[in-house]
């Protein structure tokens, strides 16, 4: 799971370089130079097998030559001299990272990776689902760019707290059993969106029926990620400010989605199924 979180966080907002910039308050600043603290992403990198560690034939992997990592949690584990050397090398690299903190600049996406990993470990029943990285990114950005340094310093902790509270409200969006329901979860919200489109633009609704374009083809991502992928980050912040301040919370979201469709209705009415899917899935509103 750490590998998936790592990949998702590295892909955050590719058109916005903030998350690849170094944070002011690295995790290393919390510990002394003598405390061996490693980088979380290194755990993901070393958990995969290197290509030179395997023998292959035309069918696939046939023999493992050398283990790339050693886990001290495995009982009755015997180490070869090569593994001992590798383990000592990894240990020295870890200590070197902590001793020379000025040489390593922790980017913001690694902070988000750490928050999501802690959330995953503390919410075993729900776990991590792809898309959570898109939801947490705007929250972290707000705290990490606060004009007051005393607030920015606690961006990681504040983000975890707010993300945890937000997930308690929208967690039905990440329960797969509710996706096909017309009463709760994403299934219920997509049903509301269909009814709204029929009410406010019946011609567009009929055209969707004609080309067999259903909300499941596009609204699943819109609703589950609170439109975080459909707008640029500054616009997402404005939209979320409205959603979070509304007394009915996310009941407003299907109306926003409906207005987005009506906003490009002229293009959609002329489109066939592939073109329409391209418009609603790739288009930045």
Residues 42, 120 within the same domain? yes
Residues 36, 131 within the same domain? yes
Q: Does the residue 79 lie in any domain?
A: yes
Q: Does the residue 78 lie in any domain?
A: yes
Res. 39 pLDDT band, cuts 50 70 90: low
Among 139, 172, 205, the domain boundary falls at 172
Among 147, 172, 197, the domain boundary falls at 172
Average pLDDT over residues 204-224: 94
Q: Does the residue 63 lie in any domain?
A: no
Q: Does the residue 165 lie in any domain?
A: yes
Residues 168, 209 within the same domain? no
Range of lowest pLDDT (8-22, 164-178, 234-248):
164-178
- For residue 226, the model assigns a pLDDT of 95
Please spell the DSSP secondary structure of 187-251, one letter per residue. Answer: HHHHHHHHHHHHHH-HHHHHHHHHTT--GGGTHHHHHHTTTTTTS-HHHHHHHHHHHHHSTTGGG
Residues 9, 139 within the same domain? yes
Residues 164, 204 within the same domain? no
Q: Does the residue 56 lie in any domain?
A: no
- For residue 181, the model assigns a pLDDT of 55
Among 172, 192, 222, the domain boundary falls at 172
Res. 187 pLDDT band, cuts 50 70 90: confident
What digits encode the pLDDT tens for the residues 261-276? 999 999 999 999 999 9
Rounded to whole angstroms, the Cα distance separating 249 from 220 reads 18
Contacts for 117 with CB less than 8 Å, ≥ 6 apart: 2, 5, 40, 128
- For residue 97, the model assigns a pLDDT of 45
Residues 240, 153 within the same domain? no
Residue 243 has pLDDT above 80, yes or no: yes
pTM given for the model: 0.76
CB 112 within 8 A of CB 5: no
Please spell the DSSP secondary structure of 71-101, one letter per residue. Answer: -TTSTT----HHHHHHHHHHHHHHHHHHHTG
Residue 136 has pLDDT above 70, yes or no: yes
Residues 124, 91 within the same domain? yes
Q: Does the residue 62 lie in any domain?
A: no
Average pLDDT over residues 129-151: 95
Residues 140, 200 within the same domain? no
CB 189 within 8 A of CB 224: no
- CATH number of the domain encompassing residue 264: 1.10.472.80
Residues 204, 130 within the same domain? no
- Tally the domains of the chain: 2
Q: Does the residue 151 lie in any domain?
A: yes
What digits encode the pLDDT tens for the residues 65-117? 444 444 444 444 444 555 555 545 555 555 444 444 445 678 999 999 999 99
Residue 167 has pLDDT above 70, yes or no: yes
Q: Which domain holds residue 117?
A: 2-50+68-172
Residues 79, 185 within the same domain? no
Q: What percent of the chain has pLDDT over 70?
A: 70
Mean of per-residue pLDDT scores for the chain? 80
Residues 20, 79 within the same domain? yes
Res. 206 pLDDT band, cuts 50 70 90: very high
Residues 111, 189 within the same domain? no
- For residue 34, the model assigns a pLDDT of 62
């Amino acid at each position: 799971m750490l590998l998936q979180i790592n990949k998702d966080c590295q892909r955050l907002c590719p058109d916005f370089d903030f998350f690849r910039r170094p944070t002011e308050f690295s995790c290393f600043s919390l510990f002394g130079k003598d405390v061996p603290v490693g980088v979380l992403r290194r755990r993901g990198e070393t958990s995969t097998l290197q290509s030179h560690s395997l023998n292959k034939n035309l069918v696939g992997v046939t023999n493992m030559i050398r283990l790339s990592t050693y886990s001290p949690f495995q009982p009755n584990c015997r180490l070869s001299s090569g593994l001992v050397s590798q383990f000592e090398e990894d240990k020295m690299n870890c200590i070197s990272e902590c001793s020379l903190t000025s040489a390593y600049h922790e980017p913001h996406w690694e902070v988000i990776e750490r928050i999501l990993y802690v959330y995953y470990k503390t919410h075993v029943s729900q776990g991590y689902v792809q898309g959570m990285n898109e939801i947490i990114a705007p929250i972290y950005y707000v705290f990490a760019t606060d004009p007051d340094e005393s607030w920015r310093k606690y961006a990681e902790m504040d983000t975890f707290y707010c993300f945890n509270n937000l997930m308690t409200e929208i967690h039905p969006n990440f329960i797969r059993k509710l996706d096909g329901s017309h009463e709760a979860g994403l299934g219920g919200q997509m049903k509301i969106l269909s009814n709204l489109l029929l009410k406010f633009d019946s011609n567009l609704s009929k055209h969707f029926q004609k080309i067999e374009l259903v909300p499941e083809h596009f609204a699943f991502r819109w609703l589950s990620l609170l439109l975080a992928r459909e707008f640029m980050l500054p616009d997402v912040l404005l939209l979320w400010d409205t959603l979070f301040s509304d007394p009915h919370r996310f009941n407003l979201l299907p109306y926003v989605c409906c207005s987005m469709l009506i906003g490009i209705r002229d293009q959609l009415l002329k489109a066939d199924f592939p073109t329409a899917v391209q418009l609603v899935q790739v288009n930045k509103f």
